[in-house]
């Protein structure tokens, strides 16, 4: 295996200086409200529950989007193997809340420890995973090296690397080559990621380009009683959705809505910010600009006279995609990189997006080629697209094309399932016996 002076120095630092830094960082994050005080021990590697008996597959994902992509794969693994349990680790409070609601029986969530060797060793001493599965490309050196040193097989699913990440790692090429060399297999989302990983040292024979797991993910759930209530409340009103918006995008969306209202005065905008904690900020914007609106966290439904419904809650996109035949997917009118377009595609909503979709460039290209998604650049083009798609036939044609792209990707989950079960059976048996 490739040796790296930089990696050796990092590991030496993470044993002493890294521990001091990690504790200081945790205190800072607690003060900023970025950590769950009741579970802060998990960030130091302290287990929040006993290890289940039998085999344990450990999935690590950075945050909400990555962990949601794993749900269907996890469900299939547990369905196939009654002797297996699944541990999912993430690093954000939001993702922990979503996983608590969505993980099936025999699967559970813990926070990932910070990358200090003492924390990592404590974590691994307790959980003793039989297989470690990284999702996408979050590479923590101490976590990877300590896991590998214990003989735990390691693979990557849904691997994705942006140009920014590639350029950052390029200056530590020896380190990243050594880290990537510890993974026995990688399922890669697209050719661009495969090129980046080859350049950084992942052997080509350990990679396969499969597409993204998000294609094979089950449709986002919703409460059917709430969907029925919302449909009755809307009473056939024309509706469009702005999903997962970021700071700066709400202004563009509202300007587009103002233009669209001039053509269709009954039109309702459902506005769902990416981060629900921004609800108060967006409510102030709506008040300042004189919008008539209702707010989800206030327990309100969209009244007939309201032009905007602020849905500032977490975990309800499945409801809003079902309610709206037209969805603008946020994070794309600002240089964020875009969000997952397969979620609206799986639920029959036509897709609009801005130019900044580097996180999903390959997927959006396929959707565009299938005439299943449409690029907008500002208020004028967004309002024009909304107006055109209020024609039910046009919206239905786009939505059907998007659904066909989504349904064609279910084999990615099948391939990931086969790979994970094969590696699990080939690994060290009986760790949890």
Active-site residues, by number, are: 66
Distance from C-alpha of 229 to C-alpha of 1, rounded to nearest angstrom? 59
322 near 346, Cβ under 8 Å? no
**Measuring CA to CA, how many Å separate 306 from each of 233, 286, 301, 303?**
12, 11, 10, 5
Distance from C-alpha of 15 to C-alpha of 365, rounded to nearest angstrom? 44
420 near 155, Cβ under 8 Å? yes
Cα three-residue angle 155-132-145, rounded to 5 degrees: 85
Beta bridge partners, 326, equal 350
The SS3 of residue 407 is helix
Q: How far is CA 16 from the centre of its chain?
A: 33
Distance from C-alpha of 74 to C-alpha of 275, rounded to nearest angstrom? 26
Map tokens 């691994």 to a residue: 124
**Measuring CA to CA, how many Å separate 300 from each of 31, 240, 312?**
32, 18, 11
Distance from C-alpha of 75 to C-alpha of 57, rounded to nearest angstrom? 12
């Amino acid at each position: 295996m490739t040796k790296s002076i930089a990696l050796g120095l990092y590991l030496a630092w993470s044993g002493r200086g890294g521990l001091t830094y990690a504790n200081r960082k945790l205190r800072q994050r607690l003060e900023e409200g970025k950590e769950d005080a009741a579970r802060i021990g998990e960030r130091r590697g302290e287990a929040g529950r006993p290890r289940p008996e039998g085999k344990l597959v450990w999935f690590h994902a950075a945050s909400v989007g990555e962990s949601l992509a794993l749900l269907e794969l996890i469900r299939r693994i547990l369905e196939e193997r009654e002797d297996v349990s699944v541990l999912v680790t993430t690093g954000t409070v939001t993702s922990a809340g979503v996983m608590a609601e969505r993980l099936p029986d025999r699967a559970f969530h813990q926070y990932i420890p910070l990358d200090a060797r003492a924390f990592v060793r404590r974590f691994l001493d307790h959980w003793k995973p039989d297989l470690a599965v990284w999702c996408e490309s979050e590479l923590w050196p101490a976590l990877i090296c300590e896991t590998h040193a214990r003989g735990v097989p390691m693979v990557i699913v849904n691997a994705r690397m942006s140009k920014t990440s590639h350029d950052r790692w390029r200056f530590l090429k020896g380190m990243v080559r050594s880290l990537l060399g510890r993974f026995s297999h990688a399922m890669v989302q697209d050719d661009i990621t495969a090129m980046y990983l080859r350049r950084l040292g992942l052997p080509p024979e350990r990679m396969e380009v499969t597409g993204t797991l998000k294609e094979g993910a089950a449709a986002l759930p919703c409460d059917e009683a709430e969907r029925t209530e919302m449909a009755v409340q809307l009473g056939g009103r024309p509706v469009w959705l702005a999903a997962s918006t970021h700071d700066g995008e709400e202004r563009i969306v509202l300007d587009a809505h103002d233009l669209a209202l001039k053509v269709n005065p009954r039109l309702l905008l459902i506005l769902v910010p990416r981060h629900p904690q921004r609800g108060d900020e967006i409510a102030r914007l709506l008040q300042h600009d004189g919008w008539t609106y209702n707010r989800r966290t206030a327990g309100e439904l969209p009244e007939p006279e309201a032009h905007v419904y602020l849905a500032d809650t977490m975990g309800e996109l499945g409801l809003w995609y079902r309610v709206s035949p037209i969805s603008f997917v946020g994070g794309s009118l600002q240089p964020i990189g875009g969000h997952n377009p397969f979620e609206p595609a799986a639920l029959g909503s036509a897709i609009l997006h801005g130019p900044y979709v580097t996180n999903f460039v390959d997927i959006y290209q396929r959707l565009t080629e299938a005439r299943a998604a449409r690029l907008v650049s500002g208020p004028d083009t967004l309002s024009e697209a909304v107006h055109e798609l209020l024609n039910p036939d046009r919206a239905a044609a786009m939505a059907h094309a998007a659904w066909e792209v989504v349904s064609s990707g279910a084999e990615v989950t099948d391939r990931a399932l086969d790979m994970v079960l094969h590696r699990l059976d080939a690994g060290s048996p009986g760790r949890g016996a």
